[in-house]
């Protein structure tokens, strides 16, 4: 079996609109990207006699948290995007998150920033971080793995409708 490899060096967040195409830089140490579903896709519901049902949600949104170093100038870009949005109410942008060491990708054409991050300043040789939460109302995405597919997993994935890029296909 081949060794599966993830490398944070190959993860990118790209923000673009009609004016800019910005690759976010200056991520903090530790978890620097977190992408969470906004709500459950299905909620269990039980009847008076224990019958089991589920309620489907039409919401497809995710929240993405980026943790940047306070030294990152991407903070300046994000601050200005939010300020412009507050003034014009027209500050959505295209966001792409891609793990090029694997198959995970998120693309949202109407991403936006909900609020400024909390601010902390320290002495003694410390650098603080800034957590930006971006809302992805209806992204296209694949939550994938890293490395090549095994032939068994590739067959299963293709049988349920998946299409694997050539660089990740089994040998």
| pLDDT score for 31 | 96
* Non-local CB neighbours of 119 within 8 Å, separated by 6+ positions: 128, 130
For residue 30, pLDDT beyond 80: yes
Query: pTM of the full predicted structure?
Result: 0.91
Q: Where are the domains of the chain?
A: 8-43+51-161
For residue 95, pLDDT beyond 70: yes
Query: Using one digit for the tens of pLDDT, what is the confidence trace for 74-87?
Result: 999 999 999 999 99
For residue 72, pLDDT beyond 90: yes
Q: How far is CA 29 from the centre of its chain?
A: 17
CA pair distance 13, 123, nearest whole angstrom: 30
For residue 1, pLDDT beyond 90: no
CA pair distance 79, 98, nearest whole angstrom: 22
| pLDDT score for 125 | 87
Query: Using one digit for the tens of pLDDT, what is the confidence trace for 115-169?
Result: 999 999 999 889 999 999 999 999 999 999 999 999 999 999 999 999 999 999 9
Looking at residue 9, what DSSP letter applies?
Answer: G
For residue 2, pLDDT beyond 90: no
| pLDDT score for 3 | 85
């Amino acid at each position: 079996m081949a060794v599966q490899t993830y490398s944070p060096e190959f993860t990118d967040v790209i923000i673009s609109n009609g004016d800019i195409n910005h690759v976010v830089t200056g991520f903090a140490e530790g978890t620097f990207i977190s992408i969470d579903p906004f709500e459950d896709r299905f909620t269990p519901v039980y009847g008076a006699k224990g019958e089991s049902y589920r309620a489907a949600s039409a919401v497809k949104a995710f929240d993405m948290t980026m943790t940047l170093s306070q030294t990152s100038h991407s903070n300046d870009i994000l601050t200005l995007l939010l300020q412009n949005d507050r003034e014009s109410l027209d500050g959505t942008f295209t966001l792409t998150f891609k793990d090029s060491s694997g198959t995970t990708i998120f693309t949202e054409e109407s991403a936006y920033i909900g609020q400024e991050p909390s601010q902390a300043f320290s002495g003694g040789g410390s650098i603080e971080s800034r957590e930006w939460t971006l809302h992805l109302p209806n992204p296209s995405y694949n939550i994938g793995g890293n490395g090549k597919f095994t032939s068994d997993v590739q067959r299963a994935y293709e049988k349920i409708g998946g299409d694997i890029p050539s660089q990740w296909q089994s040998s």
